[in-house]
């Protein structure tokens, strides 16, 4: 690179860093445009979140929308999303049935639940958001529903791994086989379990929360998070594919990107934060010399040459902000976010992909100080402190 290009690049990075100052200044934020754009594009009038890639709905999408509605103090949309979820994913009662993870059009043309198995990451986000909605809006009904969900999760989706301890299974069925447990590191935001432990000290949440830093450290490969891992007692954690017929190889990609996101959003006073960040140094090292995050990390911890979607850049921004010496890498991801924002729709990326927007909502909402998680996992919201 010649000196002219080097100076230009340095100047662009410096300008981007200045442009990012409002995110960190603690000033009053205005309308959350990205959320409004997302809701307009992906949430129908019934409260159903639709992934346009296949016209299907997942419990993950419903849980995230519920959280963002709470962050935006949008009670009407919160109730709409919650009601659709209860009616269509939980057989009318979240207090009795964990939400099915997949809903859409069957081969016979009928719209219905396509897989009754639940996804524990969605379930814990539902419980967390209902707990915090009950507290912040003073609605005991939400709190009651959260506690009922927590009881179901504890019964159906928590296992005691021999030689390791309590851990969240990805769902009630299909993840324990022949002495091997299949787990997903991205299903474990530490602050969620800190809050659940605070609300239910007698439950398994404290043990899970205490195990998360050790789990992330032991399951990472060459300093990178993996999508899925197998645990074998006496041998430890190994990269794994989710299903036996999975087309994608094991490694880290669209699931694992959230591990960095959750780590970056942890409170500085939470001692688990430093342990988790120390277990995941390699993405920051990679981005010190590359413009875009890799789309995939191999099972051996080697980044691919293909860059990930803009949602990857968004997800890594809180992580880079938390990693010392990563200011320029953070600024480069901010530049990409700005460059790939569609001024007409307000969404990110050429494909305006549903998953990218979810990652960006978490990242920008956090960086703009619309929300944060304190050391106990409690949700701190801008509107609640006005």
**Backbone angles phi and psi of 216, in degrees to 5:** -60, -45
378 assigned to some structural domain: yes
149 assigned to some structural domain: yes
Q: Contact at 8 Å (CB) between 83 and 91? A: no
Query: What CATH number should be reported for the domain holding residue 279?
Result: 1.50.10.10
Nearest to 71 by CA among 150, 125, 147: 125
- Split into its structural domains, the chain has a count of 1
> What is the full per-residue pLDDT of the chain (386 aa) written as tens digits?
444 344 434 444 444 444 444 444 445 568 999 999 999 999 999 999 999 989 999 999 999 999 999 999 999 999 999 999 999 999 999 999 999 999 999 999 999 999 999 999 999 999 999 999 999 999 999 999 999 999 999 999 999 999 999 999 999 999 999 899 999 999 999 999 999 999 999 999 999 999 999 999 999 999 999 999 999 999 999 999 876 556 677 899 999 999 999 999 999 999 999 999 999 999 999 999 999 999 999 999 999 999 999 999 999 999 999 999 999 999 999 999 999 999 989 999 866 689 999 999 999 999 999 999 999 999 999 999 86
Residue 220, exposed/middle/buried by CB under 10 A (0-12, 13-18, 19+)?
Answer: buried
Residue 242: the pLDDT is: 73
Q: How far is CA 244 from the centre of its chain?
A: 25
Cα–Cα–Cα angle for 171, 366, 54, nearest 5°? Answer: 45
Active site amino acids: 60, 121
CB atoms within 10 A of CB 179: 10
Residue where the block lists tokens 């346009």 = 52
Q: What is the DSSP letter of 54?
A: T
Q: Which domain holds residue 156?
A: 30-385
345 assigned to some structural domain: yes
195 assigned to some structural domain: yes
Q: Contact at 8 Å (CB) between 337 and 315? A: no
Q: What is the DSSP letter of 224?
A: B
Residue 246: the pLDDT is: 66
DSSP string, 317-370: HHHHHHSTT-HHHHHHHHHHHHHTB-TTT--BSSS--HHHHHHHHHHHHHHTTS
Residue 3: the pLDDT is: 41
First to last CA, the chain: 49
Residue where the block lists tokens 């809050």 = 195
115 assigned to some structural domain: yes
34 assigned to some structural domain: yes
């Amino acid at each position: 690179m010649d000196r002219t290009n080097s100076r230009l690049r340095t100047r662009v990075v410096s300008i981007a860093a200045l442009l990012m100052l409002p995110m960190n200044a603690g000033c009053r934020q205005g309308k959350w445009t990205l959320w409004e754009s997302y809701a307009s594009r992906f949430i129908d009038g019934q409260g159903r979140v639709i992934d346009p890639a296949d016209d299907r709905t997942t419990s993950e999408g419903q849980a995230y929308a519920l959280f963002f509605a709470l962050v935006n103090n949008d009670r009407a949309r919160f109730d709409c999303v919650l009601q659709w979820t209860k009616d269509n994913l939980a057989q009318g009662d979240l207090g009795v049935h964990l939400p099915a993870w997949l809903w859409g059009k069957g081969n016979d043309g009928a719209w219905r639940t396509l897989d009754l198995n639940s996804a524990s990451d969605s379930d814990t986000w539902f419980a967390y958001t209902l707990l915090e909605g009950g507290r912040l809006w003073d609605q005991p009904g939400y709190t009651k529903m959260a506690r009922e969900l927590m009881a179901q999760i504890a019964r159906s989706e928590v296992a005691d791994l021999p030689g390791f301890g309590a851990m969240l299974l990805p769902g009630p069925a299909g993840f324990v086989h022949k002495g091997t447990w299949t787990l997903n590191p991205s299903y474990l935001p530490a602050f969620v379990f800190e809050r659940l432990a605070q609300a239910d000290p007698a439950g398994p949440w404290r043990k899970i929360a205490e195990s998360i830093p050790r789990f992330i450290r032991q399951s990472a490969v060459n300093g990178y998070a993996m999508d899925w891992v197998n645990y074998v007692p006496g041998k430890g954690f190994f990269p794994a594919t989710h299903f036996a017929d999975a087309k994608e190889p094991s490694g880290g990609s669209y699931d694992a990107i959230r591990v960095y996101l959750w780590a970056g959003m942890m409170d500085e006073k939470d001692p688990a934060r430093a342990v988790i960040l120390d277990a995941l140094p390699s993405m920051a090292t990679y981005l010190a010399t590359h413009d875009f995050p890799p789309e995939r990390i191999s099972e051996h911890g080697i980044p691919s040459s293909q860059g990930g979607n803009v949602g990857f850049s968004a997800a890594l921004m809180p992580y880079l902000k938390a990693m010392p010496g990563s200011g320029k890498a953070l600024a480069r991801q901010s530049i990409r976010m700005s460059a790939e924002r569609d001024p007409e729709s307000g969404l990110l990326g050429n494909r305006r992909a549903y998953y990218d927007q979810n990652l960006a909502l978490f990242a920008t909402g956090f960086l703009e100080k619309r929300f944060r998680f304190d050391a106990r996992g409690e949700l701190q919201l801008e509107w609640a402190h006005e």
